[in-house]
Each structure stands twice: as C-alpha cells, then as structure tokens.
Amino acid sequence: MEKIPAHIAIIMDGNGRWAEAQGKDRCDGHIEGVVSVKACIKAARKRGVRYLTLYAFSTENWGRPQEEVDALMQLFCASVTKETPELVEQGVQVRIIGRRDRFSEEVRERLLHIEKSTAGGDKLTLALAFDYSSRDELVRATRAIAAKVESGELSAEDINDEIISAHLDTADMPDPDFIIRTSGECRLSNFLLWQASYAEMYFPQTMWPEFREEAFDKALEVYAERNRRFGVL
C-alpha cells in the first residue's frame, strides 16, 4: 500500500450499542474499546502513520449518566497510565487535546505526567481528545488571539489560516487526511471541524470494540482508493 495517510483521526463510536447487543453493560463496551485503541495504535505505527487522533470524550459527553461519566474518566486515566511504559517503548508521543479545567487536580497531573514521559517519542504522535469539542477549541483559540490583538502583540490584519491553526489544540500537527467514524453514524459530532476541511471521510458499520487491525487495514485500503483534489484539477 503506497498511499498511507500521514494523519488519521478516529471517532470511536458504538461501544454502548456493541455491549447492549450482547446483553452487557455499556461500560463493558468501553473496556473492550480500549483493546481496539491499543490495536489501532500498533497498526498505525506498523503502517507508518505519523499522527493518530482519537476522540475519547466530547464536551457533550458530560451529559451522560454520572455513573458512565465516572467510569469513562477512570478507564481513560487508568488505561493511559498503565500503557505509558509500552507507549514510550514504541516511540509514541502522547498529547491530550481539549479542555482541562473540568478535571480533578489528580487527573490533570496524571495527564501532564503522561505527556512528559512520552515527549521523546518520534515514531507516532497520538493525540487523545478528551473533554474536547471543536467549537470549544475554536472559542478558546479565538479568545487567545483576541487577547494578543488587545495587547498589541498581533494586529487584526495578521490573522490568517496559519494563525488560527496555531492557536488550536492541534497546533504543530498536520490536518487529518482521513477521518474514520465507526458504528455507521455519518456525522462529526463536533470533532476537528476546522481541521477536517479536506479530510477524506469513512463511516464503516463496525462498532468500535470490533475495530481491530484487520478493520484498520481495510480502512487504509479505502483511503488508498480515494482521489483527493483540494479544489484544483
């Protein structure tokens, strides 16, 4: 396969439905979903993908039942902490995108620690979107830019594509080439709206807990067939 996307972003959807279909608790679906996360990180690294962004928790997901929110917080922290040594070994640099102000002090510290310990990874950048939404990111970026205009560091005329991109959580990362959403839903649900401008999209029916190496490779085949034009002939 020659056409490997440099940056793949995945909306990991369908954990709850997968669990319910088996008569299990929704949280069992999230636990099984972590296995898919590990499989996709490995596959991405193996295939030479340089950036992998995973949508793990949206700013809207706080509206779910408290029990599920708590389980997701716990699972996220425990999994990333547990996997940190292996991620370091694999050369994976972890970066967390999204808000941080709504996490407990303990969670915030853990996330910082994970980012610090994996900072030297140069094989794959793994961006985990946690308490993330694109509109929230754009609001924060706009405020940061406005503050610079107010202080005179920037003028209004300086604001362009690059300046906006540089104030997003994904600053320094290329835009995603390929966005995958599992479970058959065909929407972005507030994910990377600015960055997705020319991304190819793929909506497989597979539920996230079943999206493993084979499904990942199939997605790469789908991408390789696409003809990207970027508005020019």
| Positions in the binding site for ligand IPE (CB under 6 A) | 11-17, 55-58, 61, 72, 183, 185, 187, 189, 208
* Least gap, CB of 44 to ligand IPE (angstroms): 18
Query: Where would I find the beta strands (DSSP E) of 34-152?
Result: 51-58, 92-97, 124-132
109 token code pair: 């510290």
Verify binding: residue 83, Mg ion, rule CB under 5 A. no
Contact 7, 48 (CB under 8 A): no
Strands 7-11 and 92-97, how do they pair?
unpaired
15, 28, 61, 177: the catalytic one is 61
Task: Look up 15 and say whether it is catalytic.
Answer: no
DSSP classification of residue 157: G
Spatial separation of the C-alpha atoms in residues 25 and 32, rounded to whole Å:
11
Using CB under 5 A as the binding rule, whether residue 27 contacts Mg ion is answered as no
- From residue 59, alpha-carbon distances to 88, 114, 191 in Å are 28, 21, 10
The residue range among 5-13, 19-27, 143-151, 214-222 that interacts with Mg ion, by the rule CB under 5 A, is 5-13
Angle in degrees, CA 28, 129, 75, rounded to 5: 30
Q: Binding marks (x or -) toward Mg ion, 7..26, rule CB under 5 A?
A: ------x-------------
* Catalytic residue flag (residue 61): yes
Number of residues that bind Mg ion (CB under 5 A): 1
For ligand IPE, which is the closer residue by CB, 36 or 145? 36
Contact between 44 and 124 (Cβ < 8 Å): yes
**Nearest distance from C-beta of residue 221 to ligand IPE, angstroms:** 23
So which residues are the catalytic ones?
13, 61
Residues that bind Mg ion (CB under 5 A): 13
